[in-house]
Chains A and B, each alone.
Chain A
Amino acid sequence: NAGVMQNPRHLVRRRGQEARLRCSPMKGHSHVYWYRQLPEEGLKFMVYLQKENIIDESGMPKERFSAEFPKEGPSILRIQQVVRGDSAAYFCASSPGQGVAGELFFGEGSRLTVL
């Protein structure tokens, strides 16, 4: 499967724990985007990364959230000290570059539940 791979698909955490979500982009894609989707809401942009660089993190909360896309390995979205409001589906998308910025390929998402 050469698509965008996300894991875990489902993650349950208790308040105060850490959540780590991983995303491997499609083969040949070097641009990764993270979006959050709350129930009955649209996709909210969080962060855009290229290898070893954060390009735009304007949609990411200033505290507790961080993202990286290292030279080797998947992109990781990290949420520290989770709260119930963090419960959502987190989607990763990739694209080959800036050529057509709106044509994104999405992974199946990671659904975080905070107890």
Chain B
Amino acid sequence: QKEVEQNSGPLSVPEGAIASLNCTYSDRGSQSFFWYRQYSGKSPELIMSIYSNGDKEDGRFTAQLNKASQYVSLLIRDSQPSDSATYLCAVIKRGTGFQKLVFGTGTRLLVSP
């Protein structure tokens, strides 16, 4: 089982719609979760972090966390063509000492005008 799993997509949504991106993780003890956005040929950029069960909103982005189900999601409201990118879910992997950030393979989002 992969440590962080995402559907590779592409997820296609029309402009103005809500895009829903999902992620599951295997380490039940994980406490910290992140969403990074990566445009084609560019570097990943942190857009959201979430540490507690429930929702966290930042502008058009909402991160949702359900630790019991080991499930993290990212909602993008009023999707814009500029949101077209790959969205990487990342989870802190516990270990002795250093806490490693483990990434999923990413979901490609396409927002059509």
Contacts and interface: CB of A to CB of B under 8 A. Distances in A.
Interface of A: 33, 35, 40-45, 48, 55-56, 58, 91, 98, 100-109
A55 B97 CA distance: 9
Nearest to B6: A42
Q: Which of B4, B33, B44 has the most CB of A within 10 A?
A: B44
Contacts of B103: 35, 42-44
Contacts, number: 57
Given A41-B105, A42-B105, A43-B88, A103 B46 contact: yes
By secondary structure, the A interface counts as loop
Given A45-B101, A48-B98, A56-B100, A102 B49 contact: yes
20 contacts: A35-B103, A40-B105, A42-B104, A42-B105, A42-B106, A43-B44, A48-B98, A55-B97, A56-B98, A58-B100, A91-B43, A101-B92, A101-B100, A102-B33, A102-B49, A104-B46, A105-B46, A106-B45, A108-B43, A109-B43
Contacts of B92: 101-102
A102 B33 CA distance: 8
A67 to B, nearest CB: 14
A107 B38 CA distance: 12
Given A101-B92, A102-B49, A102-B92, A45 B43 contact: no
